[in-house]
Structure 1
């Protein structure tokens, strides 16, 4: 298989190297869940990659039995999603269906529509990331997520990007979310905090 994906600082990995890396991660952290992401350039990916290449890489990750979830965007081409869903049907991996809005925070109606669409396509975990322009936007996202969370059985992730939305990363359990994303060697999203920062702040807030 000729698919490639990007590592840390733009280093290209071959398909075989990527599989080796997945094995190494699982070997080092056997009790930790692993989310595999090959982000579309339309929603924050570092470069434009043909769907055929992304599909091959994601399906290879699913078939490896090393990943617990694959993060695939809601607004993907139907044929692309159908192939991913087909691979997931015969795998123990689950689909973390995501949507990113780097421009604004949608209205409550729009947020509800996105979550409903995620459930309708069969997502196992619903992930929404938006860009707030004010603290009102942050409160709006939290309120909409908490309300939807009450009527959905699916785990949810709701992130307000940028420094304004830090609370949604620090305390997702208070904002309707089920987990957060922290930076390891380098930050990959606007407003992302390091693991050490999140742990320190959660301790200060008596959340851990």
Structure 2
């Protein structure tokens, strides 16, 4: 499996190398509160901060004319790019920019055209080190974003989220393979289990994908049942896992202070075999 490097020195993070990297989401609606969350995440020594732009009030600023409700205006995009610059400077580590759409469990709706335009602005704006792209939102979307992102030195995480169920193992593998083959640097899937067997299905798919795909993967089983997928992420092939500093942004997300020692213990036990 190849590795993916985010950021420069200092603050450089390599995905696909060593123990899984910890990603802490920032979900405040104002820049002031975001900076406070960012400071807390940095103090907790996470590896990567994720900015969940769908929670940010600034993206909805003054939509012009007949723009879709909730779509970012040019002023909204400007405020997003300005905030990204402040957050990157404050984080001291890579910033992953994510607009999680309502259709995949996010806080805000956005039209397909506005979503792609926002991602394009983020990768060209120079304020982030990686962007999340909902791979199945539109045909060819990930490839288009990846072309611009790679020209700007920005990494791409292609993602898919199912808050209703866990697909069969073959479908999980197919989705991860499609994302890995799209030009994305990392392929991510998060699914909701209804029973423990669903967690085992995701973990088995994660393990196989990590051995057979060229891109690093992130596979998460959400909710209380899926906590083991976060704690044992490295044993089942995930290059990173999401943790909370303060309020969790997804079901089953574990506090970073509790998760990080477990990740290190699993890595130590595994290497001692």
- Larger RCO: 1 or 2 (CA < 8 Å, sep 6+): 2
- Could you tell me how far 1:84 is from its partner in structure 2? 2.0
Instruction: Indicate whether 1:186 and 2:243 are aligned.
Output: no
Higher alpha-carbon deviation: 118-127 or 16-25 = 16-25
**Compared with structure 1, are the counterparts of its residues 128 and 117 closer, same or farther at alpha carbon in structure 2 (3 Å cutoff)?**
same
Instruction: Indicate whether 1:197 and 2:268 are aligned.
Output: no
Aligned residues between the structures: 201
- Which residue of structure 2 aligns with residue 124 of structure 1? 185
Distance in structure 1 (CA, Å) of the matches to 2:89 and 2:150:
25
- Which residue of structure 2 aligns with residue 23 of structure 1? 85
- Could you tell me how far 1:28 is from its partner in structure 2? 2.1
Give the ranges of 4+ consecutive aligned residues of structure 1 lying more than 3 Å apart after TM superposition: 79-83, 200-203, 205-208
Q: Which blocks of at least 5 consecutive residues in structure 1 are unaligned?
A: 1-5
**Compared with structure 1, are the counterparts of its residues 80 and 148 closer, same or farther at alpha carbon in structure 2 (3 Å cutoff)?**
closer
Indicate conservation of the 8 Å contact 1:132/1:138, yes or no.
yes
- Which residue of structure 2 aligns with residue 151 of structure 1? 212
- Which residue of structure 2 aligns with residue 99 of structure 1? 160
Deviations 1:89-117 (A, max 9, x none): 42211210011111222112111111121
Higher alpha-carbon deviation: 177-186 or 11-20 = 11-20
**Compared with structure 1, are the counterparts of its residues 136 and 67 closer, same or farther at alpha carbon in structure 2 (3 Å cutoff)?**
same
- Which residue of structure 2 aligns with residue 8 of structure 1? 28
Distance in structure 2 (CA, Å) of the matches to 1:85 and 1:148:
21
Indicate conservation of the 8 Å contact 2:195/2:225, yes or no.
yes
Higher alpha-carbon deviation: 58-67 or 173-182 = 58-67
**Compared with structure 1, are the counterparts of its residues 146 and 206 closer, same or farther at alpha carbon in structure 2 (3 Å cutoff)?**
closer
Deviations 1:48-95 (A, max 9, x none): 111232222222211122222211111111264454234224221121
Instruction: Indicate whether 1:75 and 2:75 are aligned.
Output: no
Q: Which blocks of at least 5 consecutive residues in structure 2 are unaligned?
A: 1-25, 30-54, 59-75, 269-273
- Could you tell me how far 1:206 is from its partner in structure 2? 5.6
Distance in structure 1 (CA, Å) of the matches to 2:123 and 2:97:
9
Indicate conservation of the 8 Å contact 1:55/1:83, yes or no.
no
Indicate conservation of the 8 Å contact 1:51/1:80, yes or no.
no
Deviations 1:8-38 (A, max 9, x none): 25551132332222112221233x2221101
**Compared with structure 1, are the counterparts of its residues 206 and 95 closer, same or farther at alpha carbon in structure 2 (3 Å cutoff)?**
closer
- Could you tell me how far 1:122 is from its partner in structure 2? 1.8
State TM-score, norm by structure 2: 0.67
